[in-house]
Copies of this chain bind each other. A is one copy, B any other.
C-alpha cells in the first residue's frame, strides 16, 4: 500500500504498516469509525486509545491531535452509534407520508435495537452534552419535528423525547438479562402477588420458571437478546408513552 504524502501517519512519520491495512486517516470521522469497529469486534473492555490507533495503523500519539482522551473518544463513538438509529420514517411522517405514531414507534424500536448492542455507552450518553454531536442533534431534530407534526405542545416536545429515551435506555439493558431472571424459590403463600404475576406472564410467553420453552423449540429468547421477558414490557411501555400521538 502506497502511503499518501498528505496522510497524518506519513506526516508524523509514525505510520505502522507492517502487514496492517491502514483503514482510515486519523480524522475525527475515521477515529469514530475505527472505535466502533474495535467495540464491535472486541468489546468495550478492549476499547482503548491504543487499540483504535492500531486499527487505524497510526501511532497512539497521532490520535491525540484529534481527540483529547478516552472520554472524548467515547463521546465521538456515541455520536457515531446514534447515527445508526433510523430516522427516515420520522422524516416521512413530517412529510405526511406515514402516520407519526407508527414512525415514532419504529424509531424507538431502532433506537433500542442499536443501543442493546452498545449498553456500555448508556450511562455516559444520558449525561453527555449534545454540543458537537452532530448525528445526535440531527436525530433530536427529526423526532422533535415528528412530535410537532403530531400536535404535541411545543413545551412538551423535549420532555416527551427525554421520557422516551429514558425508557429506551432502560429497556436496552433488559435485553441481556438471563432467562431465569424471575425464578424465585419462595415457599407456598410467600410473595403471592409476584408469583401469580410471574406465572401468568410465563404462561403468556410460553416459558417455564427457568425461562426455557416447555416444548422442543430450545431455549426461549427475546427478539434482541437472551431475555424472553424483555419484549412484552417494551411494547407495553412504548404504547403508553406514545399516547396522544
A residues with a Cβ closer than 8 A to B are 119-120, 122-123, 126-131, 137-138, 140-142, 144-145, 147-148, 154-171, 173-174, 176-178, 180-186, 191-198, 200-201, 203-204, 227, 229-230, 232-237, 240-241, 243
Whether the pair A126, B157 counts as a contact (CB closer than 8 A) is no
Which of B137, B169, B170, B232 meets A191, CB within 8 Å?
Answer: B137
Q: State whether A173 and B240 are in contact (beta carbons under 8 Å apart), knowing that A141-B194, A201-B159 are contacts in the complex.
A: no
Whether the pair A166, B237 counts as a contact (CB closer than 8 A) is yes
Taking A126-B174, A169-B170 as given, write out 14 further A-B residue pairs in contact, using a Cβ cutoff of 8 Å, ordered by the A residue number.
Answer: A126-B170, A127-B177, A127-B181, A129-B181, A137-B191, A144-B193, A144-B197, A155-B203, A158-B200, A165-B170, A166-B234, A166-B237, A169-B169, A237-B241
Q: Which residues of B contact A137 (CB under 8 A)?
A: 184, 186, 191, 194
- A127–B182 Cα gap in the complex (Å)? 10
Q: Which residues of B contact A166 (CB under 8 A)?
A: 167, 169-171, 173-174, 233-234, 237
Q: Which residues of B contact A237 (CB under 8 A)?
A: 159-160, 162-164, 166-167, 241
- A170–B130 Cα gap in the complex (Å)? 17
Whether the pair A141, B173 counts as a contact (CB closer than 8 A) is no
Least distance between A103 CB and chain B CB atoms (Å)? 14
Whether the pair A140, B233 counts as a contact (CB closer than 8 A) is no
Q: Which residues of B contact A186 (CB under 8 A)?
A: 137
Whether the pair B123, A197 counts as a contact (CB closer than 8 A) is no
Of A145, A203, A235, most B-chain CB atoms within 10 Å: A145
- A173–B192 Cα gap in the complex (Å)? 32
Q: State whether A123 and B119 are in contact (beta carbons under 8 Å apart), knowing that A158-B201, A170-B166 are contacts in the complex.
A: yes
Which of B156, B173, B180, B201 meets A236, CB within 8 Å?
Answer: B156
